[in-house]
Amino acid sequence: MKRRTFTKLTGLSAIAISTTGFVKFNGESYVGDCETTTDILGPFYRPNSPVRDNLVVEGLSGDLVELSGVVRHKDCTTPYKNAKIELWHCSADEVYDNETDEYRYRGTSHCDADGKYSFMTQMPVPYDVGDGTIRPAHFHMMVSAPGYQSLVTQIYFSGDPHIETDASASLAEAKNRILDVGQEDGMLKVFFECNMSERLKASYDSLSKIIGRYKNDRTGKMKELFERNGLLWMKNEVFGIRFDYVGNNAFEYAGLAEGMYRKLKFNFNGNATKLQFMALEEDGVKRDESYTKY
């Protein structure tokens, strides 16, 4: 399925999120927060991609590229051994493989003892999201390491003319993820190093009390919540969107532009678990819907 087609069908938008580092005094000198910034998960994440570091699809076009790098702990110095790296991207004809058992251009690998990882694949291309807006070429990555919040991010490429008009890639917080593309022995080379960060997470026991299916008290429409890797997700047509715990029985989707929001608030009333879904969408429409666990 081409991304533009899927976006039209689901109404999902491509709006970026990011984290901002701050300069702070450590008692001796001023140092910068080196946390790697995040980006939208996108609607095409598929879990359980094959464990492999060679994603090249024989017979399909696309320049060969090696993506390599290092994953480090929050101190931005110590390598993280065996961190899990999930990589996915579109093909040269703008297609994400959302359905086949081949999991084309999708793979999972792990860092070595020095925190290093490497993938061999074919370069993605820019594509139309469905309304004439062109997203720059990019890799999607999810880095999972026990003790840290999973890092969801995107990698862009220097010189792409679509970066300056892209809602995600054009943000100042994305500048360290716009990477030079080198070349060696006829192969393109991209290097990306990232640093993990701690996040507030709900316990698994807490999540187990709220995952499940919920029915809209007015319309009967259903929503399904599930847990993966210690995080709360809401099911969509491909896999789901992630909500982060923000305290006080509330979760928030962090993938929206400033001023917009999607929030989940849970209330426990006897044997019933109630969900309040609140949102301010891109078109300015506010939603405040009540659901009961089914």
Average pLDDT over residues 259-263: 90
Do 60 and 182 have their domain in common? yes
Query: Of all residues in the chain, what percent carry a pLDDT higher than 90?
Result: 52
Torsion angle, CA of 25/27/28/33, rounded to 10 degrees? -30
* CATH number of domain containing 273: 2.40.128
Do 50 and 124 have their domain in common? yes
Of 151, 176, 195, the last residue of a domain is 195
Do 51 and 92 have their domain in common? yes
Whether residue 182 contacts residue 173, with contact meaning beta carbons closer than 8 Å, is answered with no
Q: How confident is the model at residue 249 (pLDDT cuts 50, 70, 90)?
A: confident
pLDDT for the residue 6: 38
Do 184 and 63 have their domain in common? yes
The DSSP result for 151-183, as a single string, is: EEEEEEETT-TTGGG-TTTTSGGGGGGEE--EE
Do 190 and 211 have their domain in common? no
Query: How far apart (Å, rounded) are the C-alpha atoms in residues 293 and 223?
Result: 9
Of 174, 195, 216, the last residue of a domain is 195
Q: How confident is the model at residue 66 (pLDDT cuts 50, 70, 90)?
A: very high
Whether residue 110 contacts residue 158, with contact meaning beta carbons closer than 8 Å, is answered with no
Quick: pLDDT tens for 171-214: 888 889 999 999 998 899 999 999 998 765 566 667 888 899 99
pLDDT for the residue 82: 96
Residue 10 has pLDDT above 60, yes or no: no
Do 243 and 107 have their domain in common? no
Residue 230 has pLDDT above 50, yes or no: yes
Average pLDDT over residues 217-246: 90
Quick: pLDDT tens for 135-146: 999 999 999 998
Model confidence, pTM: 0.67
Do 65 and 186 have their domain in common? yes
pLDDT for the residue 39: 79
Do 125 and 234 have their domain in common? no
Query: How far apart (Å, rounded) are the C-alpha atoms in residues 46 and 226?
Result: 14
Whether residue 213 contacts residue 292, with contact meaning beta carbons closer than 8 Å, is answered with no
* CATH number of domain containing 185: 2.60.130.10
Query: How far apart (Å, rounded) are the C-alpha atoms in residues 187 and 39?
Result: 27
Do 169 and 210 have their domain in common? no
Do 175 and 245 have their domain in common? no
pLDDT for the residue 27: 47
Provide the token pair at 215.
Answer: 């029915």
Residue 120 belongs to what domain range? 3-195
Query: How far apart (Å, rounded) are the C-alpha atoms in residues 281 and 140?
Result: 24
Average pLDDT over residues 78-95: 95
Of 164, 195, 226, the last residue of a domain is 195
Do 261 and 187 have their domain in common? no
The total of structural domains in the chain comes to 2
Q: How confident is the model at residue 148 (pLDDT cuts 50, 70, 90)?
A: confident
Do 21 and 114 have their domain in common? yes
